[in-house]
Amino acid sequence: MNEITLTTTVNGRTEQLRVDAGVTLLDALRDRLGLTGTKKGCDQGACGACTVHVDGRRVLSCLTLAAQVDGREVLTVEGLGGGHPVQEAFIRHDAFQCGYCTPGQVLSAIALLDEGRAGSDDDIREFMSGNLCRCGAYPNIVAAIREVAGR
């Protein structure tokens, strides 16, 4: 085993972790920190269920090594604390059904809004295309993002 020690800020709290060098950020968040809001979907970077923010940018935590966040800031869905405008819009527009993809969808939506990429429904669909929803709530997701973008 090739273990490393890293220090990162997760949801505003400094965390020091000792992990195997090959451990993904997804597994460190879920297994070491108990932050299970970040979902393990495909474990191959294809579905977006594991989306988190690192230093304000969205990343797929299943493709990011925990070692890569040493000294950086990580935001998971738990760090939003509920009541974020995107979360509220998702509720109003029923933009989730089973809810499995919702944490990744919400974090991606926040990122695309922060990036100023919600100019049109086509833009929203394009920049959310890395987040899959097995239930097919896409029109509702777009409507929720459009609402927040219009504020």
Domains parsed from the chain with CATH numbers? 3-79 (3.10.20.30), 82-149 (1.10.150.120)
Residue 92 and residue 94: Cα distance in Å, rounded? 6
What's the confidence (pLDDT) of residue 1? Answer: 65
Structure confidence at residue 151 as a pLDDT band (50, 70, 90): confident
Measured in degrees and rounded to the nearest 5, phi and psi for residue 36 equal -90, 5
pLDDT tens digits for range 86-126? 999 999 999 988 999 999 999 999 999 999 999 999 999 99
The pTM of the full predicted model, rounded to 2 decimals, is 0.95
